[in-house]
Amino acid sequence: MTTPEEAARLDAEDELAAFRDRFVPITDESVVAYLDGNSLGRPLRATADRLREVVAEQWGARLIRSWEERWLELPERIGDELGRVALGAAPGQTIVADSTSVCLYKVLRAAVALRPGRDELVTDTANFPTDRFLVDSVGAELGLTVRWIEGPDDVAAVAGPRTAAVVLSHVDYRSAAIADLAGITRVVHERGGLTVWDLCHSVGSIPVALDADGADFAVGCTYKFLNAGPGAPAFLYVNARHHEAFGQPITGWMGAADTFGMAERYVPAPGIRRALSGTPPVLGMVGVQEGVALLAEAGIERVRAKAVALGRWVLDLADEWLVPLGFTVASPREDARRGGHVTLRHPDAERLSRVLIDNGVLIDFRRPDGIRIGLSPLTTGFTEVRAAMERIRELAG
């Protein structure tokens, strides 16, 4: 059932359909479908309103007084709410800070320091470039060996007494395959190592249970499914059991025990605040706060249910319309193993991706031959997806 009537029925039964009105409308009439929300989510109306208020009132009227009145507490306050709504993390373990790359560097260095005498890092060759690059650079910086694996399923075969930390993405940025966070973490702990999870393609798309699954460290961005805006600050999670010994390498003033004491030597703040370095990006955090608030209202379970339904819809349309044209499905077909996007392979994917974007179907190309269809549940409808897939069929035929 891939008819327009079926798409209309699915849209009519969509419990999250009304949330689409909470976003700034797409004014470019050439856009057929925005299927790249897993790279950059659409802007919220509430974010635009809040930014005007922050600039005019908090910054414009209260000036520097706003730091003490509200801004200094934002990294922890928003982090706690993000942890509650999307990460399965109790308060005091998540903080909004820096970019994903900087957060990953911090927790990776901290993880290695917590396992003295171990000289190996483990990651997979399919991991996102930032993760691979940083594992390589931290390995070189500290004289560690990097053990490369083909995918998360290979962790058990290589993790051992020399393993300090295993760095993996929870959802593969190309295929959308979901790694077994709980199972892999358990295996790594049995071998005495620590886990560092990249949640960039998980947070706001699928439920995560960091505390229950025993994760050690996690990082992630907020500008994808959380719709926080381009360059919005990332977050990092440190399980409370590591707080006392957690030492991050970029010891800036915001992570000090007495921020305004101007002490001669650095003394880390207690708890998760020691993960901070420089001055928090207040304007960027507004988008994070509004994105998390919207997710709390929608509910991560409902968001996940719609992501699954959208994924099935793409697979049905692809099987009927695109597979006969030379496309193959690169994402897991089992709902429980697929994240919030579907990747299709095609021998001429790079050229075809440019053609699609020029013709109003905004997707991602991922080397070597992947066309990534992002399914952001709060902004994407079934009729919109059908129109995009029909355009792909027309242009690839």
Enumerate the active-site residues. 128, 198, 223-224, 372
Q: 165 - beta bridge partners?
A: 121, 194
Structure tokens at 167: 């760095």
Helices (H) and strands (E) in the chain, counts: 13, 13
Given a contact cutoff of 8 angstroms between Cβ atoms, the answer to whether 175 and 339 are in contact is: no
Which contiguous run of DSSP H or E holds residue 129?
helix 129-142
Give dist(CA 213, CA 147) in Å, integer: 24
Structure tokens at 139: 């390995």
Give dist(CA 182, CA 323) in Å, integer: 34
Largest CA distance in the chain: 70
Q: 218 - beta bridge partners?
A: 197, 237
Indicate the angle between helix axes 282-298 and 45-53, nearest 10 degrees.
140
Q: Are strands 94-96 and 120-124 parallel, antiparallel or unpaired?
A: unpaired
* CA angle (95 as vertex; 375, 23 as ends), nearest 5: 35
User: How many other CB atoms are there within 10 angstroms of residue 334's CB atom?
Assistant: 9
